[in-house]
Amino acid sequence: MFPDKFEYYAPKSIEEAAKFLNGHEDAKILAGGQSLIPLLKLRFTSVPEIVDIGRIRGLDEIKLRGNTLEIGAMARTGEIADNVSIRGKFPVLSEAAGHIADPLIRNMGTIGGDLCHGDPANDFPAVMLALDAEFEISSADRKRTVKAEDFFLDTFATALEPGEILTKIKIQDTGSSGRYMKYKKYAGDFSILGIAVNLLLDGKEVKKCGIGLTNCGATALKAKEAEKFLEGKEISDENIAKAAELLLKVADFMDDDNGSVKFKEKLLKYLFVKAVKGIGGVHK
């Protein structure tokens, strides 16, 4: 099947792209195309104009500036998975990227496209929540910064306003470490559910905790109560179990083909315990 007709526009700068979008509110941005193109080909959606930002220089850069990791929105998933700096300083991000879909998708898909799609089953949103990332958003007349926890509003809905483009992701290096755990039916499949855990440890004491949930509700979720509970406490089986119970307060499961609510609750707690015990410095 072929998509409906559309006009194709390939700007060479963010400013040029933003100006075009400012006068074409129904236009869609094309990044890696791993979500948009299948929707168009199957005619699940149609758009009058497509703005391909893939030719804009510098939008795919991955840089560590001091203690801040800056990732351009067009950075490919595979590049994020393989980046040495990310592997060393942000293992939860590297691990999540390496488990997304398959090599073909990872070589084409972009972090910006993944985040802006707003799919609750996508893996990067939960990681951004766990890492307390910030997003740089550009339009024709301004730039603004949005925290990850304020970006994901609902299923396929984000804080992006008409005419805006996600251009950069910023993550602070605090010396923390993390894991991303997911459960899926088949290799390369979407997560039935997943969890990103990021801990700043002083021995066995948690100084700072970040937890993001994948496919546990209408959008990616930040488990604030569980985070606050663990902060200032030592890692122990008892504290981990109590934090796992607090995850269920934010999760919003439904019975479906992937399993019952009870099954998903047990699975989420299991993955959380496994993630925490797998983080460096925590005894298994």
- Would you say residue 282 has pLDDT above 70? no
- Would you say residue 283 has pLDDT above 70? no
Flag whether 26 is in a domain. Answer: yes
Flag whether 57 is in a domain. Answer: no
Flag whether 152 is in a domain. Answer: yes
pLDDT of residue 39: 87
Contact 211, 227 (CB under 8 A): yes
Beta bridge partner(s), residue 241: none
Beta bridge partner(s), residue 170: 70, 134
Integer Cα distance of 270 and 255 in angstroms: 18
- Would you say residue 79 has pLDDT above 70? yes
Residues, the chain: 284
Contact 206, 233 (CB under 8 A): yes
- Enter the pTM of the model: 0.94
Judge if 22 and 100 occupy the same domain: no
Integer Cα distance of 85 and 64 in angstroms: 8
Judge if 144 and 161 occupy the same domain: yes
Whichever domain contains 223, its CATH number is 3.30.390.50
Integer Cα distance of 148 and 169 in angstroms: 9
Give the percent of the chain with pLDDT over 70. 98
Number of independent structural domains in the chain: 3
Q: Convert the pLDDT of each residue in 189-207 to its tens digit.
A: 888 999 999 999 999 999 9
pLDDT of residue 38: 87
Q: Convert the pLDDT of each residue in 25-68 to its tens digit.
A: 899 999 999 888 888 888 888 899 999 999 999 999 999 999 99
Flag whether 237 is in a domain. Answer: yes
Please give the residue range of the domain that contains residue 235: 177-277
